[in-house]
Every structure is written in C-alpha cells, then in structure tokens.
Amino acid sequence: MDWWPEFEKFLFGLLGAAIGGFFAYLWARWTAREQEAGRIDARDKQLDAIVREVKEVTKAQQDIQSRFAVGLWEYQIRWNQKRDLYAALLGTLTELEHVWQELVKPETPPESVEGLMKTEAQLRDRLHGSVGLARIFLSPAALSSLRTWFEFTTQDAAEMYRRIVTTQAELVEAAVSDLKL
C-alpha cells in the first residue's frame, strides 16, 4: 500500500485547499459586506449633508417669499391709498367744477349763489382735509398741482372754473403716472 500515503497527502491537500477556499470565500463576503456598509454609511452622511442644505435653502426661500409677500402687500396697500385719494380729490374737484359752472352762468338766480358759495366752501374744506394724506402718498406732480390750486385766488368765476378744470387734468395725468395705469 504504497499509494496510500501519497493519496492521503493529496486528500489532505485537497481538503486544506477546500477549507482555505471556503474561508477565503467567507472572508471576501465579509469584507465586501463591510465595504458596502462603509459605502452606505458614507452615502448616509452625504444624504444628511444634502438634507441639511435643502432645509437651509428651503428656509431661505421661505424667508424670501415672506419678504416678497410683505413687500407686495405693502405696495398694494399704498396703491389702494393712492387710488382712493386720487378718486376723492378728483371727485371733490368735479363737484367744485359743477358749483363754479353754475356760478359762471348769468341766469343763476342770486338766492342760489349764496347756497353755491356755502357748498364751494365745504368742498374747499374737504380738499384741505385731503392734503395731509396727499403729502404722504401722492407724487410730487400731484402735490404741485394741488399747491397751485390752493395758492390760486381770484374773484373771476370763469377764471376759477378754468383753474379747476386745469387742476383736474393735472391730477389725472399724475394719477395715471403714479398708479402706473
């Protein structure tokens, strides 16, 4: 039985190689798993950083949107104030125009003149009351037109009527420009 020791060496060599291969396979699987776990951890850390950045960007975007919304709201409030003020001023000037139209007519009875003058005084007072807000909200062109109106004094009814019409036209131009119509 000469071949048996040779066969035994071969069998142990083969068994050793199989066991070594099996452990090498296990070692490779374990290191591959560790490498994959390391990659997953690295990816998680990158995702955490990305999530932090996205949160920061989202917060910044919300801050910008909030500021924009507040600015838009303030703009709309100012625009509404201007519109209402221009409408009130032009409405009062239109009423004054009608009063002075009646005063210009030669056929206006003298008893009506006194009532028309009271109405005219009330309308002037209403215009004076609007000047405070006008200084805050209206354009320099509108303020200049109003200033010219208040500085204008005459006893001539026709001249007063022309001045009212001129002031109305100037305010309309200022309103169109100021309100961006």
CATH number at residue 125: 1.20.120
151: in domain: yes
Tens-place pLDDT, residues 8-18 = 778 778 788 88
Q: State the pLDDT at residue 95.
A: 92
154: in domain: yes
Residue 5 has pLDDT above 60, yes or no: yes
Q: How confident is the model at residue 88 (pLDDT cuts 50, 70, 90)?
A: very high
CB atoms within 10 A of CB 49: 10
Structural domain including 134 reads: 71-178
Tokens of 170: 């100037």
Over residues 152-158, mean pLDDT = 75
167: in domain: yes
* Domains in the chain, number: 1
Tens-place pLDDT, residues 16-65 = 888 888 888 878 888 878 888 778 887 888 888 888 888 888 888 888 88
162: in domain: yes
Going by C-alpha positions, the residue among 136, 124, 156, 2 that lies closest to residue 82 is 136
Tokens of 139: 């354009």
6: in domain: no
103: in domain: yes
99: in domain: yes
pTM above 0.75, yes or no: no
How far is the C-alpha of 176 from the C-alpha of 168, rounded, in Å?
A: 12
Q: How far is CA 46 from CA 57, 118, 138, 162, in A?
A: 16, 81, 55, 76
21: in domain: no
